[in-house]
Chains A and B, each alone.
Chain A
Amino acid sequence: MSSKALSRFHQPISVPGRRLLHHVNPGFVRKKVSGGGQRSVNQEIPLIPFIDFLLCIVLFLLASFSASGELPIDKNIKLTNAENVMDMVEAPMVAITGTQILVDGTPAGNTRAIIDGNRLTRVDELFNILKNKRELWKQINPGKPFPGVVVLQVDRKVQALVVKSVFQTAAYAGFPNVSFMVGRMGGGEGGGGEH
Chain B
Amino acid sequence: MAGIDVGGHGGKRATNHEIPLIPFIDFLLGLVAFLLVTAVWSQRARINADARVPGPPKETPPDEIKKEKQLHVEMKGERKFQLVWKEGTTVVNTIDVPRKQVNVGDSGDFKYPDLAAKIEAEWKANGSHRAATDKKFDQAVLHTDNSTPFQDVIAVIDAIYTPQRDFSFGGGTEKVPAFNVTFAVN
Contacts and interface: CB of A to CB of B under 8 A. Distances in A.
Interface of A: 47-48, 50-51, 54-55, 57-58, 61-62, 64-66, 69-71, 73, 79-89, 118, 120, 151, 154-161, 163-164, 167-168, 170-172, 176-191
Contacts of B185: 120, 164, 168
11 contacts: A54-B25, A80-B155, A84-B161, A85-B45, A154-B150, A156-B154, A158-B149, A160-B147, A177-B50, A182-B45, A186-B105
A65 to B, nearest CB: 6
Contacts of A58: 28, 31-32, 35
A151 B1 CA distance: 54
Contact of B49 (A79, A88, A89, A180): A180
Contact of A160 (B25, B47, B48, B150): B150
Which of A81, A88, A163 has its CB near the most chain B CB atoms (within 10 A)? A81
A31 B36 CA distance: 47
B146 A118 contact: yes
Interface string B67-94: 0000000000000000000000000000
A82 B43 contact: no
A171 B51 contact: yes
B72 to A, nearest CB: 15
Given A54-B29, A167-B51, A156 B46 contact: no
B145 A157 contact: no
Contacts of A50: 25
A11 B52 CA distance: 106
B47 A62 contact: no
Given A62-B35, A181-B45, 10 more contacts: A47-B1, A58-B28, A82-B47, A120-B185, A156-B154, A159-B148, A163-B153, A176-B53, A180-B48, A183-B43
Chain B, interface residues (CB within 8 Å), range: 35 or more
A162 B31 CA distance: 46
Nearest to B149: A157
B157 A82 contact: yes
Nearest to A115: B146
A66 B44 CA distance: 14
Contact of A157 (B111, B151, B158): B151
Contacts of B144: 160, 164
Contacts of A185: 104-105, 109, 111
